[in-house]
Amino acid sequence: MPKAARKTAVPESVPAPAFAERLAQRRDELEWLFMELYDDRAAFQRLLDTMSESSAARPEDLRDLDEAREKDPEWYKRGDMFGMTMYTDLFAGSLNKLADNIPYLKEQKLTYLHLMPLLQMPHPYNDGGYAVEDFDNVDPMFGTNEDLAALTRKLRAAGISLCLDFVMNHTASSHRWAKAAEAGDPEYQDYYFCYDDRTVPDEYDAHVPQVFPNTAPGNFTWNEKMGKWVMTQFYPFQWDLNYRNPKVLVGMLSSVMHLANLGVEVFRLDAVPYIWKEFGTNCRNLPQVHTIVRMLRIVLECVCPAVVLKGEVVMAPKELAAYFGTPDKPECHMLYNVSIMVNLWSALANGDTRLLKAQIDALDALPDNCWFVNYLRCHDDIGWGLDEDEERRLGIDPLKHKKFLYHFYEGAVPGSWAMGELYNYDEASGDARSCGTTASLTGVERAIITHDRPALDTAVDRDLLLHRAMSFLRGFPMLSCGDEIAQLNGWDYKEDPSRIDDSRNLHRSRFDWDKAALRHTPGTLQNRLWEGMESLREMRDDPCFAPDAWVTTWDAHNDAVLAVLRKQGDRVIVGLFNFSGVAQSARLDGSEGVMSAFDAELAPYEARVIVR
């Protein structure tokens, strides 16, 4: 089946002069990895040809960016990095209209913008854009490839790097490869996992956990037209790709390079631990995954070294380091900090920072090349994947604790201030996740409904406490669009038949521009949050937020208080965060060559930075 035409012009006809030099430095390793995995010389040559073609097509301004980033390889680790994630349609409607609102983004001094999936997708069932039917073209509902390229140019001029998701594990069932497979073409059936009967699927199911046991049970779906079972670990309309076939890898890498040439500077690798399947295993975190990610890193370093990789790896800290690779053979530049997000919310509900401190310590113990994007909320749910061994060590029952947390954040626990909903509740296992915006989960919505001004003040303090603690940690902060104006839950999703089945739509609501207009009006809720976010950027302007700063927790001798120390040269700053609704005392011991001992009194939900 012929490849769909890409809707973008080719500005150059020869590879960048530096391409040959970059490739010469890395070719041996790339070839060794590719041949070890596939032993297919012709396929490797196709990859090299594709890399050369992509280098030739790279616009001149992006080549200039490549050169600048090679001289500043840790640009994404600077203290002034400040990110935001959003849905294009919910924020502005289209890529062109989003471009018109760049001044709003510049107001917040953003340096990083993550747009939710916007590549061509089926409608209406597309898993929020994570079912992709064309990795090379923008979905018409957002605009065109030319619109995307124009947006990235304007963002670069504003000092903002664009991040897009790259869904490596699967395609939509309407992708051209899947349609050819469904039509009976054996070549394209080998792009997926297709079986005539249940023998192999049953063997897989014996070892492979289900991703969505309630909403999408099983790992395989029967396709009547093809007369075969096809692997669909996520949803029936998302077909898992077979990376044992080198054509799949080369095709996907080609699309990554194409998007990079449209100006995408960061790729979030969606569900990357799942991409390699091996009989008799749980098909998670297999060695071949790292081989593929390492090859992707090499390819980008040759063709478009300005581009960085952000992995979505929802795993325990001990499993994260592998996704960064090593300093000599790096993989992802950074990862989503899922575990800290979950532990921040847990600490807020409990007023107990012990699990949070233990998780921060585990992450800070990772090698220096490990870097994180820290966040409180995103497009997804809060999955209560806490460290169960640490919970037991602290005398906490993991299942009871999980139930307490998800019931607390749906507002079903006495004394809860939160207003959220459950997602993927499983009665048999007692498992569930939580949905809601930051403001609604911290009590802002309930206080507004009850006209309780003191409760509203406290809710704002909780909201800002979480944002300040998140922003003080190793890595850089990313806001969820709307958090800067305390956007509340969008309960109207229940009135839309196409959205009502997914409670995550509770926090996927249209951006409220009327509320945003109040951001500079003193005394308004929006102004308090807006100025609070400005204080985060001011805090991170300190030299102690340099990439090589030493970051560690410190004993506050009070489980309600999280203490984090940052040291750069002789300068030391300490962040104190009271996760309790009552005033707390903290006592920090001194350490020779670091700081002298001191005591501090903290108001309820207070976050304070102290220079030592």
pLDDT tens per residue across span 247-277: 999 999 999 999 999 999 999 999 999 999 9
Cβ neighbours of residue 445 closer than 8 Å, sequence gap 6 or more = 419, 439, 488, 489
Please say if 312 is a catalytic residue. Answer: yes
- Of the listed ranges 16-25, 98-107, 394-403, 481-490, the least confidently predicted one is 16-25
- Please give the pLDDT value at position 14: 74
Q: Quick check: 357 and 579 in contact, CB under 8 A?
A: no
Q: pLDDT at residue 102 above 60? A: yes
Number of domain units in the chain: 3
Q: Is the domain of 371 the same as that of 501?
A: yes
CATH, residue 605:
2.60.40.1180
Q: Is residue 481 part of a domain?
A: yes
> Tell me, what DSSP letter sits at residue 325?
B
Confidence grade of residue 320 (pLDDT, cut at 50, 70, 90): confident
Q: Give yes or no: residues 153 and 87 share one domain.
A: yes
Domain boundary (240, 267, 293) is at 240
Whether residues 215 and 80 fall in one domain:
no
> What amino acid occupies position 419?
M
> Given 165, 240, 270, 301, which residue is catalytic?
270
In a domain, 536, yes or no: yes
List b or e across 147-158, with b for residues whose CB sees 16 or more CB atoms inside 10 angstroms. bbbbbbbebbee
Q: Which token pair is 528?
A: 């308090």
Q: Which of 136, 139, 301, 312 is catalytic?
A: 312
* Residues linked to residue 440 through DSSP beta bridges, in sequence order: none
- Residue 64: CA atoms inside 13 Å, Cβ hemisphere, count? 5
Alpha-carbon span 385 to 359, nearest angstrom:
12
- pLDDT higher than threshold 80 for residue 315: no
Instruction: Decide if 4 is inside a domain.
Output: no
Helix (H) / strand (E) element for 566: namely strand 561-568
Domain around 191:
176-240
pLDDT at 10 over 50: no
Domain of 218: which CATH number?
Answer: 3.90.400.10
Residue 316 binned pLDDT confidence (cut-offs 50, 70, 90): confident
Q: Do 234 and 249 have their domain in common?
A: no
Among the candidates 193, 217, 240, a domain finishes at: 240
Q: Where are the alpha helices (DSSP H) in 351-480?
A: 354-364, 388-393, 398-408, 438-441, 444-449, 453-472
User: Could you tell me if 359 and 585 are in contact, meaning their C-beta atoms sit under 8 angstroms apart?
Assistant: no
| pLDDT of 339 | 93
CATH number of domain containing 136: 3.20.20.80
**In the chain, what percentage of residues exceed pLDDT 70?**
98
pLDDT digits (tens, 9 = 90+) for 418-439: 999 999 898 888 999 999 999 9
On the question of a cis peptide bond just before residue 543, with omega within 30 degrees of 0, the verdict is no
Residue that terminates a domain, selected from 225, 240, 255: 240
Least confident span in 176-180, 214-218, 557-561: 214-218
Q: Which pair of tokens denotes residue 22?
A: 């970059």
Same domain, 235 and 249: no
- CA proximity to 318, closest of 395, 418, 389, 256: 389
- State how far the Cα of 117 lies from the Cα of 34, in Å rounded to an integer: 29
Would you call 282 helix, strand, or coil by DSSP?
Answer: coil
Q: Are residues 228 and 188 in the same domain?
A: yes
Q: Is residue 474 part of a domain?
A: yes
- Taking 60 as the threshold, does the pLDDT of residue 2 lie above it? no
Q: Are residues 274 and 365 in the same domain?
A: yes
Strand (E) or helix (H) holding 611: strand 607-611
pLDDT of res. 427: 87
Residue reference for tokens 């370093």: 301
Residue 227 has pLDDT above 90, yes or no: yes
Is 406 inside any structural domain?
no
The answer as to whether 270 is a domain residue is yes
Paired sense of beta strands 421-426 and 476-480, if any:
unpaired
Which of 413, 407, 377 lies closest to 507, judged by CA? 377
Q: Are residues 321 and 372 in the same domain?
A: yes
Asked whether 487 and 511 are in contact (CB, 8 A), the reply is: yes
- Say what percent of the chain tops pLDDT 90: 91
The model carries a pTM of: 0.95
Residue 208's pLDDT band (cuts 50, 70, 90): very high
Is 439 part of any domain? no
Contact present, 265 and 155 (Cβ < 8 Å)? no
Instruction: Tell me: do 226 and 149 sit in the same domain.
Output: no
447 in any annotated domain: no
417 CB-near residues (< 8 Å, 6+ apart): 411, 442, 443, 446, 447, 455, 458, 459, 462
Q: Write down the residue that tokens 């980008």 correspond to.
A: 300
Assess whether 236 and 249 both reside in one domain.
Answer: no
Beta strands in 117-160 (DSSP E): 119-120, 134-138
Q: Give residue 1's pLDDT.
A: 46
Average pLDDT over residues 440-461: 98
- Quick check: is 270 catalytic? yes
Using alpha carbons, select from 348, 417, 331 the residue that is nearest to residue 382.
348
How buried is residue 314: exposed, middle or buried, by Cβ count under 10 Å (0-12/13-18/19+)?
middle
Q: Mean pLDDT in the chain? A: 95
For residues 534 and 557, state if they share a domain. Answer: no
Q: Are residues 191 and 310 in the same domain?
A: no
